[in-house]
């Protein structure tokens, strides 16, 4: 319904940002990672948004980039993970660190998020590891499958991206354009930026 909001940042708290667009202030629940990337109050800001509708409330969640929004969607699709838990996880872990944790089966990294216990963290790892190809490309066209990097950091980065829902072809193509000797987190970060631009 609301893809993004762009306007003047009028209020900022650790987990809330208000962006005024055309005289209307949109209150967005944000992660700590997004809060750190917002400009000073009075400056123009853009947040990618998702509207969560419940019986008693409508909450707007805002993210600094599309990679974080995609992670939020993936997390809330996991059984037992609601919007608040997803926000807590993304406040503790960037999309790159989350994808690395899922790919490595490191559920303990996810338990560092406020209110997320071991059982829920294990479920996040288990369910996201098996979700492949659920995010369509921007233009609706699936790119041809590129040969996956054979070994090392690039292969780990491809596994992490596919655990977040990108197809093997999308992940391989994005990582294949980067220097495979870079650290895993850097590869994931740069590949997510490239995928978000498409």
In this predicted model, what pLDDT tens digit does every residue of 72-129 receive, in sequence order? 999 999 999 999 999 999 999 988 888 888 888 889 999 999 999 999 999 999 888 7
Q: What is the pLDDT of residue 121?
A: 93
Distance, CA of 73 to chain centre: 8
Helix axes 83-92, 66-76, angle to 10 degrees: 130
In this predicted model, what pLDDT tens digit does every residue of 118-140 receive, in sequence order? 999 999 998 887 663 333 333 33
153-165 average pLDDT score: 83
What DSSP character marks residue 142?
P
Nearest to 35 by CA among 5, 55, 15: 15
Say what the pTM is.
Answer: 0.68
CA 198 – CA 36 distance, rounded (Å): 25
What DSSP character marks residue 146?
P
Residue partners of 45: CB distance under 8 A and separation at least 6: 6, 7, 8, 9, 17, 19, 38, 39
Domains, the chain, ordered by start: 4-63 (2.40.50.140), 66-129 (1.10.150.20)
What is the H or E stretch that residue 58 is in?
Answer: strand 58-63
Select the more confidently predicted residue: 143 or 164: 164
In this predicted model, what pLDDT tens digit does every residue of 4-46 receive, in sequence order? 999 999 999 989 999 999 999 999 999 999 999 999 999 999 9
Mean pLDDT of the chain: 84
Distances (CA, A) of 190 to 75, 126, 176, 178, 187: 21, 25, 11, 8, 5
Q: What is the pLDDT of residue 86?
A: 95
Residue partners of 56: CB distance under 8 A and separation at least 6: none
């Amino acid at each position: 319904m609301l893809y993004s909001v762009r306007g003047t940042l009028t209020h900022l708290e650790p987990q809330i940002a208000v962006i005024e667009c055309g005289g209307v202030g949109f209150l967005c629940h944000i992660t700590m990672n997004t809060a750190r990337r917002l400009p000073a109050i009075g400056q123009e800001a853009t947040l990618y948004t998702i509207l969560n509708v419940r019986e008693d409330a409508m909450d707007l969640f805002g993210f600094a980039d599309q990679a974080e929004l995609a992670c939020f969607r993936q997390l809330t699709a996991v059984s037992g993970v609601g919007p608040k838990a997803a926000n807590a996880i993304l406040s503790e872990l960037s999309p790159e660190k989350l994808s690395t944790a899922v790919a490595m089966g490191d559920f303990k990294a996810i338990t560092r998020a406020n209110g997320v216990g071991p059982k829920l963290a294990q479920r996040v790892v288990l369910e996201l590891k098996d979700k492949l190809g659920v995010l369509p490309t921007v233009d609706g066209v699936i790119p041809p499958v590129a040969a996956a990097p054979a070994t090392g950091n690039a292969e780990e980065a491809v596994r992490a991206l596919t655990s977040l829902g990108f197809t093997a072809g999308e992940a391989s193509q994005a990582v294949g354009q980067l220097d495979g000797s870079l650290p895993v987190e850097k590869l994931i970060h740069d590949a997510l930026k490239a995928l978000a631009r498409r």
